[in-house]
Structure 1
Amino acid sequence: MTSGTTTLDRHALNRWRGAVTACFAIGGVALSTWGPRLPALRADLDLDTGGLGVLLAGVTVGSVAGLLAAAPAIARFGARRAIPGVVVLVALAIAAVGVGSGVFHSVPAVAVAFVVAGFSIGCLDVMINIDGAAVEAAAGRTLMPMMHAAWSGGAALGSGIGAACAGLGVSPTGQFTGEAVLLVLVAGFVARSVPVGARAGEVAPEGSPGRRVLTWLRGWADLKLLLIGLVMLGAELGEGSANNWLTLAAKDGHGLAAATAALFFTAFAVAEMTARLLGGPLVDRFGRVATVRATTALGIVGVALFVLGRHPALVLVGVLLWAVGVSMGFPLGMSAAAASGSNPAARVSVVASIGYFANLAGPPTVGFVAQGTGLLPALWLIAVVMVAGFAAAGSMRVTTPAR
């Protein structure tokens, strides 16, 4: 088995796969670290909710910068050094958020830490998708959905740790510092397990940083990439909107009890993770295009059932189908982008930017529409964009050799 210029035996390939999967879990844990502790952070920093929202916007700003920096970093340092280095940066940023809020009570310090956290998580996301695609090529089978399931599992784990620490009275400083130590230990495992050797994703354009940015911008003129991004747009709009609005829509729109609505969201998360765990063999059997079209069609039906359903059981079926519908677009889109042409790192960065935009900007757009229509009717926006993603799914067809 080979990756670029590196020859791997099965044991080494399994270690590499395990390291990349662990990094996906780290991304999920990192992004969900501070969510359950926002009340404590708000109190430590003496902010109102609006001020806290502005502070959290730094994560988004940093993420965009991280997407741009990933390809040059891989080219400069190689995946074996760049990936664990970014994991350590994630750990330092998380620790800085805890220390800046709980020890120094400094809004500027926490603001910088959030920007660095967003930068490192965005950079890590592109890097591990590049290496994940290389693992797929070396293994000769579809693995990206399973790796992205690790991100979902990591997010659930991170939220659970935060909720448990809040319940036990552990300060955010103690929690974040403890998690940072664990992430550094994982970085050591990653540094020993990611193989040395060139991968296609390590090739970045020569020249100044401005020239590299210009090369990245040219990717936005590539129709195939934009169509792949459209598929990811629908999936990420559906996922981000579920994360933000599903519980409230189930409670207010369908009159469910708050606890039941929360359980419906848990069902969504479990269904999405399960679909990703089981999705790889389906892709190997039926191909990316057929799998994305089938799951997206189920998602469209699911959103419709959720909006129109009048019985809790029917609404729950809608939730489960909605989760399946958004499960495959992002991981298969990243894999398709990496295989769609030269300089995969830059190409993955383009479609990742579209996915990030949909996940971060989509839910506020749904909220804005809901002001005039109500929350349930506003969710039709998800179905419309997913229909466009269904039509664009042919862009995910592999036209270049996987190896």
Structure 2
Amino acid sequence: MLLAALVGIAPIYIAIQAIPDGTGKNAADGTQHGEKGVPFYRDIQLLLIGVVVLAMAFAEGSANDWLPLLMVDGHGFSPTSGSLIYAGFTLGMTVGRFTGGWFIDRYSRVAVVRASALMGALGIGLIIFIDSAWVAGVSVVLWGLGASLGFPLTISAASDTGPDAPTRVSVVATTGYLAFLVGPPLLGYLGEHYGLRSAMLVVLALVILAAIVAKAVAKPDTKTQTAMENS
């Protein structure tokens, strides 16, 4: 699976390189926005947003692919119970997606992303370190709630934190999709050698890192936003 994922990256990279400059822009964009600014690989804020989406997409993808088996092999649940526990994760994801807008309207985007990452880290950590059926059931809901808003909020942050929004969004979206593509096979490889619970330490570390750098998704202040629009 890991080899197949790595092979799948090559066509994506080639396709991105083949897209002509200016694709998706109006003819007047060059006059309106001026220069694009620094290349994306030198844009520290964009790279940190990429770290956040990488971690949160990794957390979501790893649960989608491995959570039932993690419950069976790592905690001794039956296959049926493992699938039911996975339903708790999807419940958390659904609730997070439907209620996220309410929290974003009342708190900053940074606060919501950081709280989501910490909630996800708590859920993943409990699953890794605690042997308890009811703790596992609660933890997967926390995991789902924590992972639910990472991808959409980082896409939003990429679009309004700098010039050349289409390029910024494509970079962040591609990073997230690569995490979905490469992350689960990598965890499968680690799980085969060290066990799935130990493999999830990688996910836990990344989600904690996302909480640390969550300030990168902050909305620009009014003056900065006006300057970007008029540049």
* Coarse TM-score class (shorter-chain normalised): 0.7 to 0.9
Q: Any conservation in 1 of the 2:9–2:178 contact (CA below 8 Å)?
A: no
Which of 58-67 and 346-355 deviates more? Answer: 58-67
Separation of aligned partners in 1, 2:92 and 2:75: 21
Q: 1:286 aligns with which of 101, 104, 107?
A: 107
1:70: how far off? 9.4
Q: Secondary structure at the match of 2:77?
A: coil
Q: Secondary structure at the match of 1:342?
A: coil
Tell me: CA distance 1:396–1:71, structure 2 relative to 1, closer, same or farther (3 Å).
farther
Q: 2:120 aligns with which of 296, 299, 303?
A: 299
Tell me: CA distance 1:362–1:240, structure 2 relative to 1, closer, same or farther (3 Å).
same
With normalisation by structure 1, the TM-score equals 0.50
Bigger RCO (CA 8 Å, 6+ sep): 2
Q: Which amino acid aligns with 1:343?
A: D
1:199: how far off? 8.1
Separation of aligned partners in 2, 1:242 and 1:203: 41
Alignment partner of 1:332 is 2:156 = no
Tell me: CA distance 1:286–1:257, structure 2 relative to 1, closer, same or farther (3 Å).
same
Separation of aligned partners in 1, 2:11 and 2:85: 32
Separation of aligned partners in 2, 1:377 and 1:71: 44
Q: 1:322 aligns with which of 143, 146, 161?
A: 143
Alignment partner of 1:401 is 2:222 = no
1:224: how far off? 0.4
Alignment partner of 1:342 is 2:166 = no
Separation of aligned partners in 2, 1:70 and 1:281: 39
1:75: how far off? 2.2
Tell me: CA distance 1:368–1:57, structure 2 relative to 1, closer, same or farther (3 Å).
closer
Per-residue deviation, residues 286-306 of structure 1 (Å, max 9, x unmatched): 010000111111100000111
Separation of aligned partners in 1, 2:76 and 2:21: 48
Q: Any conservation in 2 of the 1:204–1:343 contact (CA below 8 Å)?
A: no
Separation of aligned partners in 2, 1:242 and 1:305: 14
Q: 1:221 aligns with which of 42, 48, 55?
A: 42
Query: Which residue in the other structure is 2:81 paired with?
Result: 260
Q: Any conservation in 2 of the 1:67–1:352 contact (CA below 8 Å)?
A: no
Q: 2:24 aligns with which of 68, 74, 95?
A: 74
Q: Secondary structure at the match of 1:379?
A: helix
Separation of aligned partners in 2, 1:276 and 1:199: 33
Q: 1:272 aligns with which of 90, 93, 100?
A: 93
1:252: how far off? 1.0
Separation of aligned partners in 1, 2:8 and 2:37: 21
Q: Which amino acid aligns with 1:221?
A: R
Per-residue deviation, residues 292-330 of structure 1 (Å, max 9, x unmatched): 111111100000111123222110111111111111111
Q: Which amino acid aligns with 1:348?
A: V
| Percent of aligned pairs sharing the same letter | 32
Q: CA RMSD in A?
A: 3.0
Separation of aligned partners in 1, 2:15 and 2:149: 23
Q: Any conservation in 2 of the 1:298–1:324 contact (CA below 8 Å)?
A: yes
Q: Secondary structure at the match of 1:74?
A: coil
Q: Any conservation in 2 of the 1:272–1:326 contact (CA below 8 Å)?
A: yes
Q: Secondary structure at the match of 1:256?
A: coil
Q: Any conservation in 1 of the 2:187–2:199 contact (CA below 8 Å)?
A: yes
With normalisation by structure 2, the TM-score equals 0.84
Alignment partner of 1:310 is 2:134 = no
Q: 1:361 aligns with which of 179, 182, 185?
A: 182
Query: Which residue in the other structure is 2:198 paired with?
Result: 377
Separation of aligned partners in 2, 1:227 and 1:57: 23
Per-residue deviation, residues 36-92 of structure 1 (Å, max 9, x unmatched): xxxxxxxxxxxxxx8xx85x877655545565649844227x9xxxxxxxxxxxxxx
Tell me: CA distance 1:373–1:247, structure 2 relative to 1, closer, same or farther (3 Å).
same
Q: Which amino acid aligns with 2:190?
A: V
The gaps in structure 2 that reach 5 residues or longer are: none
Q: Any conservation in 2 of the 1:204–1:346 contact (CA below 8 Å)?
A: no
Q: Any conservation in 2 of the 1:71–1:346 contact (CA below 8 Å)?
A: no
Instruction: Decide which structure has the larger Cα Rg and report it.
Output: 1
The gaps in structure 1 that reach 5 residues or longer are: 1-49, 79-197, 206-214
Tell me: CA distance 1:57–1:386, structure 2 relative to 1, closer, same or farther (3 Å).
closer
Tell me: CA distance 1:204–1:324, structure 2 relative to 1, closer, same or farther (3 Å).
farther
How many residue pairs end up in the alignment? 221
